[in-house]
Homo-oligomer: A and B are copies of this chain.
Amino acid sequence: MTNRILWINPIGSDDFDQPIKEFLETGKSADTEINVVSLTRGPLHLEYHYYEALVLTDTLHLVKRYEKEGYDGAVIGCFYDPGLREAREITDKLVVTAPAEASMHIAATLGHKFSIIVGRKKWIPKMKENVVNYGFKDRFASFKSVNLGVYEFQKDPSETTRRLQAAAREAVEKDLAEVIILGCTAQFGFFRELQKDIGVPVIDPILAALKYAELLIQLKKRFNWGHSKIYGFEAPPRDEIRKWKLEEQYRTKGIWT
Cβ of A249 < 8 Å from any Cβ of B? yes
Cβ of A172 < 8 Å from any Cβ of B? yes
Contact A110 B204, beta carbon cutoff 8 Å: no
Number of interface residues of A (CB under 8 A): 89
Q: Closest residue of chain B to A105, judged by CB?
A: B105
Contact A135 B133, beta carbon cutoff 8 Å: no
What is the predominant secondary structure among interface residues of chain A facing chain B? helix
Contact B227 A111, beta carbon cutoff 8 Å: yes
Contact B129 A49, beta carbon cutoff 8 Å: no
15 A–B pairs (Cβ distance < 8 Å), ordered by A:
A27-B223, A44-B244, A49-B85, A53-B60, A54-B57, A109-B212, A110-B227, A111-B231, A112-B231, A124-B176, A129-B129, A135-B137, A178-B228, A178-B231, A211-B219
Cβ of A136 < 8 Å from any Cβ of B? yes
Chain B residues closer than 8 Å to A234, beta-carbon distance? 48, 122
Contact A43 B135, beta carbon cutoff 8 Å: no
Cβ of A35 < 8 Å from any Cβ of B? no
Cβ of A134 < 8 Å from any Cβ of B? yes
Chain B residues closer than 8 Å to A129, beta-carbon distance? 129, 133
